[in-house]
Each structure stands twice: as structure tokens, then as C-alpha cells.
Amino acid sequence: MIQNPILKGFNPDPSICRVGDDYYIATSTFEWFPGVQIHHSKDLKNWKVIAHPLNRLSQLDMKGVPDSCGVWAPCLSYKNGIFYLVYTNVKSFDGVWKDTPNYVVTAQDILGDWSDPVYLTSAGFDGSFFHDEDGKTWYTNMLVDHRKGKFFGGIELQEYDTEQQKLVGEIFYLTSGTDLGCTEGPHLYKRNDYYYLILAEGGTEYGHAETVMRSKKISGPYESHPENPILTARNTPEYELQKAGHASFIETQNGDWYVTFLVSRPLTEQGRCILGRETAIEEIIWKDDWPYLKSGSSLPRLEIPSPDLKEVFVEENPERENFDSDKLPIDFQTLRIPQSEEWISLTERPGFLRLKGKESLTSTHTQALVARRLQHFNVQITTSVYFEPTKFQHLAGLVLYYNTGHYHYFHVTKNKNEKILSIVSCCNYTIIEQKEIAVVTGIEEVLLRAEVNRDELQFSFSNNKKDFAVIGEKLDMSILSDDYVRDESERYRPAFTGCLIGLCCQDLATNSVHADFEWFEYRILDC
């Protein structure tokens, strides 16, 4: 059986692509660099991250972008030996105006190098390529309409000339969607005599759903599926998998059809989702030239039968990363900016990750922070840090991070003449500092630990590398979720990511003091 979700933790907006016997899923990364996660599988069950294609500034410049902006809804496709990756680099989303430039990059090898980007349009977002049987390539996107607070303006279609590398010809308006509204995430497919337009609707929260329309002409008119939405959990609030939608279809080499889509797993009924939006999979069958979930329901299942494909296992990531390579593990990303010797090094002190202190956790510009996704409800995260602060503006440690306004930070710093451990939490952009501290003056190596138990977080530390002492009170993990950030903000802010666990260093005085991390351990306490 395949257990859902297949991509755990912050991995939304899946775009699936098959080339021969290989399957690839691209997912959104928002403000995290490098951009787009590409996952690989041979059997649709066992997946592994293999690439981040947007890995240089010429492809992706995100310095200063707001939280949950950056890379949205990539679309991965393949035609005549070339991979195409369409993506949006959202620059602003607050208020009536949305700045949403869209680009495409190409590569002959999924592992890269990928080309510099070709600009497409800024008319909307969620851009997608469809390669038709006649050799034409078409581009669809949702249209942003700022007039009278409308926002969701429907779905547009235009041809993309692969030789001229630009959009050409007439722009066709395909649909304003169904009555569910908030129409976005368009993808086109062709089967038999019909073009199928699949749409993410109802918003990406608990009303999320996937709808289908079809037409015998690519430019329309499109008729609605008789049982829309074909995929949703909106009417089953007690179900474990929620927010189902933003889907893409794939046909296997055996002629079977599947759909990948995002889901979330709330801690309580329609509560907070600390793992963010994840990726799940379902089987598709066709009746009267319409797609349906094979289960006979619109509700995604927690497990589905494995396809008729040979199972190919992938190597699990080790619990402990010892930083003994000159490259970060692929499951670590940086915040908005690429790695640079200006702030990070894996070679200056061999066997250590060195972070050179930069700006605060509030900054959207230059932070010295590397992080990986939280992918399980119950985990123990531990790191070893060597850090000698000389003033209170020097901080380094372990952070559980959602965005610039929501995090829990356990760190080493300076207080008068003492080297101390301190905990600060940021909730709705307000800093809360715990009163309890621990003095570690004269201790060269300190182990910092975070234990997550669903909605609870407890920090502890060791100054002798074996005995751990609890520090501070239990903290609310659930503030590190889309749901909390959206619900509690004084004004609307986009919140589309998930919790990441990071190592960071700040020098708020001179941007120069460094911290050395010898290892990082992510231990799953349950599944």
C-alpha cells in the first residue's frame, strides 16, 4: 500500500511529470532557497528529493520578498528531450496589488544545470505548460483582477513559442471557474477527444477542492464535470486529511491514471497544521470521458493500493548530519538568499558548519540561517554548538521557524559577563522572552535540544554531552502553522509554508561573529 501523504512536511502544489519509467514531483518552496523541490520515484510510493533547480541569483532573486512570497506553484513538464519548469516569483501580495512575475527555465537533465529564466507574464500566477500533440505548447495561468476587490479573475490561455521563447498570439479566456470560487492552479491535459482543465478552487484552506472542466477545443468553451468537485475534504471536517486540492494528473507507462495533490493534517478537527501543506496521491478512473477517484468518493484515502510497478526503495536520510562534506545536505535550505562565503562555510573549520552572524530573525534580507522541514508530529532535534558571544547582540542556536513573525528560538548569548542560554518566542510579531536562563560560562560545547510532541515544544540542554536538563516552560508549537498565522494576524498576510527547524547566528552589532555547529540530529519519535 501507499501511505498518504507521500511527501511529508511543507511540500505543497505538486506538479507530477513522467519520463519513461521515472516520476518527478515539483513542489513550491516560497521564500526558501534554492527554489523548487524536485522529488523522484520509480513506483509512485517511495520518493526522494534529488534537486533544487533554481539555485542561482540569475534564476531567483528573493532578497526582501515578504513572508510566503517567492516561488509559487511550479509546473514541471517534458517535451522532446527537454524539461520545462514554469514558476512564479511573487514579489508582493499585501493589499490590492499583486506583483507576480512568471518565468520558465529548461534543462536536458533533471539534475541540471537549468537555464537562466525566460520571462512570461505578470498577469497572474500558477503558470502551467501543456504540450499538445500537434507540437504546440500552451501556457495557462490564473488572472489577478484588482478591480473592486475581485482578485480571482479566471483562467487565461496563450501559446508559447519554444523557438522564439515568448508568449505569442491571442489570449483566450477559458473560464471563471465554478461556484466554489477562488479559481487557481490550472493544468491542461488531453485524453481521447477532450482537453481537460483541472482547477484548484475554494481557497487553499479547509474549503479547498479540485474541479474539472472539459472541451473538444483547447480554447473552449469548457463544460463542468457533472460531480464537481472530484476531490475535496471540505464536507468531512473530522477527517485526518484536510485541505485537499491543487492537483496534477499523470498516466503511468501501463495506462493507469493517478492524481497528486496537496493535503494538510490538522492537530484537531479543522485545527492547526504544524507540518504545513503536504503531498498525497490517489487513483483515477474514467467514466464517460470524465475523471473520478477510483474509490468512488471525492475524499482522499489514507492509503491506496500500490500501482502495477516494481517497488524501488530509496535510502533514508541519516538521523545525524555531521557536516563532513563541503556541501549542505539536500534537505537543508537557506532563507531567501543563496549560500555565500560571506555568511556560511563548511570548510573553514572542517567537520563543522560555520555560520557568520548576520541580521535578525525579523529580516527579509540577509539572515545566516539554514533549516530543514519538520515532517513528523513527534520528533527530537539536537545540535552541538560552539559559540563565544562577547555582547548581548550576539546570538546563535536552534530555531523552530515559520516566518519572520512566528518562531521559537533557543540560543546562546551574552548577559553582562555571563555566557547564557535563553529562549525567545515570536508570536504575531511580538517577542516574548522566557525568564528562565542557564549560565554556561566556560563551557565550550553546548548541546541544544528541542522535543516536539504535536502542539507542545520543550527545550533542553546539556553541558557535558550526555545529561540533558529541561529549560523553560512548554511552548505552543501550533503557532508555527498557516492556520494560526492567518487567523491571528492583525491584517491579512499570506501564510502558505510550514515549520522548519534551523541553525542560525546573529551579530546585530557588526555582522561578523561566527558560531560553529558540529552536528545536527533529527530523530523521529513516532511516524
- For 11, 105, 251, 300, the CA distances from 304, given in Å and listed in that order, are 20, 34, 16, 9
The question of whether 251 is a catalytic residue gets the answer: no
Burial class (CB in 10 A: 0-12, 13-18, 19+), 107: middle
CA max distance for the chain:
77
- Residue 144's nearest CA partner among 128, 165, 121 is 121
Burial class (CB in 10 A: 0-12, 13-18, 19+), 353: buried
Please state, in angstroms and rounded to a whole number, the distance separating the CA atoms of residues 296 and 302: 15
Q: Per residue in 198-233, is it b (16+ CB within 10 Å) or e — as a string?
A: bbbbbbbbbbbbbbbbbbeebebebebbeebbbbbb
How remote is the C-alpha of 110 from its chain's centroid? 19
Strand partners, 35: 54
Can you say whether the dihedral through the CA atoms of 336, 124, 51, 167 is positive or negative?
A: negative
486 φ/ψ sector (left φ>0, alpha ψ -120 to 50, else beta): alpha
The question of whether 476 is a catalytic residue gets the answer: no
Strands (E), 192-277: 194-201, 209-215, 223-224, 231-232, 242-251, 257-264
- Residue 248's nearest CA partner among 2, 32, 24 is 24
Q: How many helices (H) and strands (E) does the chain have?
A: 1, 40
- For 18, 360, 428, 479, 500, the CA distances from 493, given in Å and listed in that order, are 35, 20, 11, 14, 19
DSSP code of 101?
A: -
Answer whether 138's CB lies under 8 Å from 159's CB.
yes
Q: Which of 31, 156, 159, 184 is catalytic?
A: 184
CA angle (88 as vertex; 83, 91 as ends), nearest 5: 150
- Residue 333's nearest CA partner among 117, 128, 107, 498 is 498
Helix (H), strand (E) at residue 485: helix 482-488
Q: Which of 13, 126, 159, 282 is catalytic?
A: 13
Strand partners, 418: 415
Active site residues: 13, 184
